[in-house]
């Protein structure tokens, strides 16, 4: 009878209140994190030894032009007021103009970020599809030659510089064997033939039904994405192995073996199932790192992504572009981190 409560609304009220509180805390933490990101980027823009006025008007401008631009940029106002204006501009999507490209920073970010997103997404798929099984196999065969090989591969993923691996990859697979296309996202004679819908070239080619351009774009993508995937694979495999070793030493695994459960079921159903929550966090962090840390690969492969854009902006003292790209990367990191938290709660009821 207790299950059929005469006051269902009353029984739902605490649950609804708890849900609203959870959502409220989630939104508050996200907003505070983003505000902290804006504060960091704002003060970085103020302490770097680059005069933003000179970057705009040049070092040969008259004092009158310099003073007028100084006031126009709001640099004569108190620091708190400048920060408030900065937050307002960011929230309205106003990052200013890029001195490097002559376009608005927002337009540049929309143009360059999909290339980084495409390469990092392919990279994390490779890292997860190969890294998780490798980690499980290494743990299941701890101490064997299989375990040693996988551990060595993991160490190489930490020790080998990305730019060196990129150059070696180009020398072997592009210049030597001719298995993949060279630097860039597309051969020059295919450039502009596919309408830009998402900015993700392989997806846009599929949407346009042009398999020739799709294969060409994929040929350009596979090598840099595989190198990124190798670095994420090394981390994911090492963490998966560590998590699995911990689970395989638990008493419930020993009990399952004593009961005659097959070794395959022990490994994949009993030991692997509990670590999926931890793997969500590992994979989320790996993906965020690929999105923000692919600068060297983009430079080596002339990949027109956000890392290449940010490097060019730094070399030309284009602070609007630098801060805009930094905010975008930080925002992506926040979104992935918060999404990981949500998935953590969904997969593990104990954390709710």
* DSSP letter string, 113-144: HHHHHHHHHHHHHHHHHHHHHHHHHHHHTTTS
Q: pLDDT tier at 351 (50, 70, 90 boundaries)? A: low
Whether residues 188 and 323 fall in one domain:
yes
Interaxial angle between packed helices 105-140 and 211-248, expressed in degrees from 0 to 180 and rounded to the nearest 10: 50
Neighbours of 330 (CB within 10 A): 18
How far is 50 from 28, CA to CA, in rounded Å? 34
- pLDDT at residue 223, rounded to an integer: 92
Whether residues 179 and 262 fall in one domain:
yes
Do the domain assignments include residue 192? yes
Query: Domain tally for the chain?
Result: 2
Whether residues 87 and 113 fall in one domain:
no
Whether residues 177 and 35 fall in one domain:
no
Whether residues 36 and 138 fall in one domain:
no
Whether residues 60 and 118 fall in one domain:
no
Q: pLDDT tier at 151 (50, 70, 90 boundaries)? A: confident
- pLDDT at residue 2, rounded to an integer: 47
Residue 99 has pLDDT above 80, yes or no: no
Q: What is the domain extent for residue 44? A: 23-91
Whether residues 48 and 147 fall in one domain:
no
| Segment among 19-23, 196-200, 253-257 with least mean pLDDT | 19-23
Whether residues 121 and 156 fall in one domain:
yes
Do the domain assignments include residue 58? yes
How far is 42 from 320, CA to CA, in rounded Å? 11
How far is 126 from 208, CA to CA, in rounded Å? 25
How large is the average pLDDT for residues 330-336? 83
How far is 260 from 272, CA to CA, in rounded Å? 18
Do the domain assignments include residue 134? yes
Whether residues 190 and 290 fall in one domain:
yes
Do the domain assignments include residue 116? yes
At residue 100, what are phi and psi to the nearest 5 degrees? -75, -40
pLDDT tens digits for range 233-250 = 888 998 998 888 888 887
Whether residues 293 and 347 fall in one domain:
yes
Tokens of 318: 């284009």
- pLDDT at residue 222, rounded to an integer: 92
Q: Do 294 and 254 touch, CB atoms closer than 8 A?
A: no
pLDDT tens digits for range 102-119 = 788 888 888 889 999 999
Do the domain assignments include residue 158? yes
How far is 90 from 41, CA to CA, in rounded Å? 11
What is the b/e burial string over 228-255, where b = at least 16 CB atoms within 10 angstroms of the residue's CB?
A: bbbbbbbbbbbbbbebbbebbeeeebee
Do the domain assignments include residue 103? no
How far is 330 from 37, CA to CA, in rounded Å? 7
Average pLDDT, the chain: 81
Q: pLDDT tier at 293 (50, 70, 90 boundaries)? A: low
Q: Which residues, including other chains, have CB under 8 Å from residue 3's CB and lie 6 or more apart?
A: none
Alpha-carbon distances, residue 50 vs 303, 315, 318 (angstroms): 28, 12, 9
Say which CATH number the domain at 160 has. 1.10.3720.10
How far is 68 from 226, CA to CA, in rounded Å? 51
- pLDDT at residue 325, rounded to an integer: 85
pTM above 0.95, yes or no: no
Do the domain assignments include residue 235? yes
How far is 205 from 197, CA to CA, in rounded Å? 9
Residue at token pair 């495999």: 237
Domain end point (choices 63, 91, 119): 91
Whether residues 163 and 73 fall in one domain:
no
Do the domain assignments include residue 102? no
Whether residues 116 and 29 fall in one domain:
no
């Amino acid at each position: 009878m207790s299950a059929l409560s005469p006051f269902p609304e009353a029984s739902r009220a605490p649950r609804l209140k708890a849900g609203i509180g959870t959502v409220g805390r989630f939104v508050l933490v996200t907003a505070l994190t983003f505000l902290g990101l804006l504060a960091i980027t704002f003060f970085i823009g103020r302490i770097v030894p680059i005069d933003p006025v000179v970057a705009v008007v040049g070092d040969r401008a008259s004092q009158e032009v310099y003073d007028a631009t100084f006031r126009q940029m709001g640099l004569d106002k108190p620091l708190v007021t400048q920060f408030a204006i900065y937050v307002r501009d960011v929230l309205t999507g106003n990052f200013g103009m890029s001195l490097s490209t002559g376009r608005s920073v927002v337009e540049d970010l929309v143009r360059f970020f999909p290339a980084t997103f495409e390469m990092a997404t392919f990279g994390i798929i490779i890292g997860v599809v190969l890294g998780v099984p490798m980690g499980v196999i290494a743990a299941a065969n701890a101490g064997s030659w299989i375990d040693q090989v996988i551990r060595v591969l993991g160490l190489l993923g930490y020790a080998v510089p990305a730019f060196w691996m990129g150059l070696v990859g180009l020398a072997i697979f592009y210049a030597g064997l001719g298995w993949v296309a060279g630097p860039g996202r597309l051969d020059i004679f295919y450039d502009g033939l596919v309408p830009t819908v998402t900015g993700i070239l392989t997806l846009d080619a599929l949407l346009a039904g042009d398999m020739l351009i799709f294969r060409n774009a994929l040929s350009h993508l596979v090598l840099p994405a595989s190198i990124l995937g190798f670095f994420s694979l090394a981390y994911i495999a090492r963490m998966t192995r560590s998590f699995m070793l911990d689970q395989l030493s638990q008493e419930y695994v020993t009990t399952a073996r004593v009961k005659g459960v097959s070794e395959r079921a022990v490994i994949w159903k009993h030991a692997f199932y509990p670590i999926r929550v931890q793997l969500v966090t590992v994979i989320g962090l790996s993906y965020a790192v690929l999105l923000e840390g692919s600068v060297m690969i983009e430079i080596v492969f002339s990949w027109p992504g956000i890392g290449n854009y940010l490097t060019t902006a730094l070399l030309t003292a284009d602070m609007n572009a630098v801060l805009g790209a930094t905010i975008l990367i930080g925002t992506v990191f926040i979104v992935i981190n918060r999404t990981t938290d949500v998935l953590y709660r969904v997969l593990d009821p104990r954390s709710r």
